[in-house]
């Protein structure tokens, strides 16, 4: 298995994988490849993008996000990470994360942070990698009303 830095040409196959993984359990989100590509391309086009991927014949998984300036130094916001459903729980995610962290350390990044659901299996995965759920920080979100339909 090859572990390498993501490039623009990788976005399409990674988007296909992303849509498959997050449409399945435990996420069951209604992704199609086009929507997934928009999201991944957005992060890719944003300042400080960094992604790593695992590949055999096909893409096995990827992790990506953006470097951000902060008063204490550079942070990395890990935005998306997934491993192909058939390849999960075989150590690929751990190898991929370590490849990402090595890359971040070589860029003198001070910390990695991410937001995810508390109860999902990935929470144990991240805790096993040394991430801690903050006692002080909270993640706030607010739903907004959909705009009225033009046919109303
Ligand atoms: C979460 C995910 C990236 C983990 O990758 P993975 O290749 O399946 O995980 P690994 O096999 O490398 O596991 C590494 C460690 O995490 C633990 N782990 C992995 N999945 C776990 C689970 N479902 N429950 C508990 N522990 C888990 C493993 O036991 C292993 O521990 P060890 O090092 O002590 O043996 C992958 O399962 C995935 O893509 N899930 C669906 C998408 C997702 O949830 N992405 C993250 C959303 S933010």
- Domain boundaries along the sequence of the chain: 2-128
- For a pocket test of ligand 1, which of 21, 88, 115 has the largest count of ligand atoms closer than 8 A to its C-beta? 88
- The β-bridge partners of 80 are 64
Q: Give 64 Cα–ligand 1 centroid separation in angstroms.
A: 16
Q: What is the pLDDT of residue 149?
A: 77
Q: What is the pLDDT of residue 152?
A: 56
Distance CA 78, CA 58 (A): 23
- Which CATH superfamily is 2-128 part of? Gcn5-related N-acetyltransferase (GNAT) (3.40.630.30)
Distance CA 77, CA 90 (A): 25
Q: Which residues contact 101 (CB under 8 A, 6 or more apart)?
A: 112
Phi (first) and psi of residue 83, to 5 degrees: -125, 140
Supply the residue whose CA is at minimum distance from atom 7 of ligand 1.
93
Distance CA 99, CA 41 (A): 21
Angle between helices 92-106 and 121-128 (to 10 degrees): 50
Closest atom of ligand 1 to CA, residue 121: 23
Q: Give 32 Cα–ligand 1 centroid separation in angstroms.
A: 23
Q: What is the pLDDT of residue 119?
A: 82
Q: What is the pLDDT of residue 147?
A: 86
Spans in the chain with pLDDT lower than 70:
150-152
**Cα Rg, the chain, nearest whole Å:** 16
Closest atom of ligand 1 to CA, residue 95: 12
């Amino acid at each position: 298995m090859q572990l390498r830095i993501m490039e623009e040409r990788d976005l399409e196959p990674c988007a296909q994988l992303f849509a498959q993984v997050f449409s399945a359990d435990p996420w069951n989100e209604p992704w199609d490849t086009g929507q997934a590509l928009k999201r991944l391309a957005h992060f890719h086009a944003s300042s400080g993008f960094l992604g790593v991927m695992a590949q055999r014949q096909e893409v096995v998984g990827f992790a990506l996000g953006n470097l951000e300036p902060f008063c204490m130094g550079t942070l990395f916001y890990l935005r998306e990470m997934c491993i192909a459903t058939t390849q999960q729980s075989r150590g690929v995610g751990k190898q991929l994360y370590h490849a990402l962290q090595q890359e971040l350390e070589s860029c003198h990044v001070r910390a990695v942070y991410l937001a995810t659901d508390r109860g999902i299996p990935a929470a144990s995965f991240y805790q096993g990698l040394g991430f801690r759920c903050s006692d002080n920080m909270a993640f706030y979100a607010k739903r907004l009303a959909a705009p009225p339909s033009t046919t109303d």
